[in-house]
Chains A and B, each alone.
Chain A
Amino acid sequence: MKMAVPKRTRIAIKAKVRPNSEADGASPIVPPQAIAGRTLVLVIAIMTFLAGFTIAVVSVIDRAANAWASDIGREVTIEVRPLDGVAISGEVEKAVALAQEFPGVGSAHGLSDAETQRLLEPWLGPGTDLSALPVPRLVVVSIDDATAFDAKALADAVSRQIRGGSVDDHALWIDRLSAMASSMVFAGIGLMMLMLVALVLSVVFATRAAMAGNRDVIEVLHFCGAEDRFIAGQFQRRFLLFGVEGGAIGGALALLAMAITAWVIGGSTGRPGADQLEALFGRFELPGTAYGLVLALVVAVALLTALTSRLAVQRSLSALD
Chain B
Amino acid sequence: MIRFENVGLRYGTGREVLSDLTFSIAPHSFQFLTGPSGAGKTTLIRLLFLNLKPTRGLISIFGKDTALLRRADMPALRRRIGVVFQDFRLLDHLTTYENVALPYRVLGKDEASYRADVADLLDWVGLGDRKHVYPPVLSGGEKQRAAIARALITKPEFLLADEPTGNVDPPLARRLLRLFLELNRLGTAVLIATHDIGLMDQLDVRRMVIEGGHLEIYE
Measuring CB to CB, which residues of chain A are less than 8 angstroms from any residue of chain B?
A: 13, 16-22, 26-27, 29, 31, 33-34, 216-217, 219-228, 230, 318, 321
- Of B49, B75, B97, B98, which contacts A226 at CB under 8 A? B75
Distance between Cα atoms of A217 and B108 in the complex (Å): 17
- Residues of B near A225 (CB, < 8 A) are 75-76, 78-79, 103, 106-107
> Does chain A have a CB within 8 A of B93?
yes
Distance between Cα atoms of A44 and B54 in the complex (Å): 44
B132 touches A220 (CB 8 A): no
- Smallest CB-CB separation from A26: which chain B residue? B98
B71 touches A223 (CB 8 A): no
- Of B89, B101, B131, which contacts A219 at CB under 8 A? B89
- Of A16, A22, A217, A223, which contacts B137 at CB under 8 A? A16
- Smallest CB-CB separation from B133: which chain A residue? A17
Given contacts A13-B137, A27-B94, contact A221 B106 (CB under 8 A): yes
A-B contact pairs, 27 of them (CB 8 A): A17-B134, A19-B132, A21-B98, A21-B132, A22-B97, A22-B115, A26-B105, A27-B94, A29-B91, A29-B94, A33-B93, A34-B93, A222-B74, A223-B49, A223-B83, A223-B89, A224-B102, A224-B103, A224-B106, A224-B150, A225-B75, A225-B78, A225-B103, A225-B107, A226-B75, A228-B71, A230-B106
A26 touches B111 (CB 8 A): yes
> Does chain A have a CB within 8 A of B95?
yes
- Residues of A near B95 (CB, < 8 A) are 18, 21, 27
- Residues of B near A224 (CB, < 8 A) are 78-79, 102-103, 106, 150
Per-position 1/0 for B60-79, Cβ under 8 A of A: 00000000000110111011
- Residues of A near B38 (CB, < 8 A) are none
- Residues of B near A226 (CB, < 8 A) are 75, 106
A20 touches B132 (CB 8 A): yes
- Residues of B near A31 (CB, < 8 A) are 93
> Does chain A have a CB within 8 A of B136?
yes
B71 touches A21 (CB 8 A): no
